Amino acid sequence: MLVVKTLHIWMVISWFAGLFYLPRIFVNLAMVPADSIAERDRLLLMAGKLYKFMTPLGVLAVLTGLWLWFGYGFTGGWLHAKTTLVAVLALYHWHCGRVLKQFQGGGNKKTHIWYRFYNELPVIVLLIVLFLVVLKPF
């Protein structure tokens, strides 16, 4: 089980790298001047590749997490709270894909300031999840 736990931590770290960086690309995309087609295309290429890379990592992070949950038989309210937050992150990941499609289609209506705040959600969720896992407060 320690191998599964190690793989889980590694996949979570890798998934979060994507969850942290993809919205930063959205900030940059929202700031690109309309006449800067090459810059926009380069950022869209980066965002698309990152999304394709981070999606399997997120799936594997969730699957190894479930393996640990059922393998160790964890119980407690902290685990339900953590699972809920992981579901929120999965929805956030999915929404990032929707945002990417909007940028690709030229339909973005939000400002770079909005995306700066949007970028902070996974940071906050990660902090809460870490406290839940380490402290198991309930």
Task: Specify the pLDDT at position 72.
Answer: 83
N-term to C-term CA, the chain? 24
Confidence (pLDDT) at 45:
98
Higher pLDDT, 52 or 1: 52
The predicted pLDDT at position 124 comes to 97
**What pLDDT was estimated at residue 75?**
81
pLDDT in tens, 70-115: 888 778 899 999 999 999 999 999 999 999 999 999 999 999 999 9
Q: What is the pLDDT of residues 41-73, one digit of tens each?
A: 999 999 999 999 999 999 999 999 999 998 887
pLDDT tens per residue across span 14-34 = 999 999 999 999 999 999 998
* CA–CA separation, 134 and 36 (whole Å): 46
Position 30, amino acid: A
Q: How far apart are CA 39 and CA 34, in angstroms?
A: 10
**123: containing domain:** 2-135
Q: Number of folded domains in the chain?
A: 1
Supply the pLDDT for residue 71.
87
Give the chain's mean pLDDT.
96
Which of 64, 68, 115 lies closest to 92 in space, CA to CA? 115
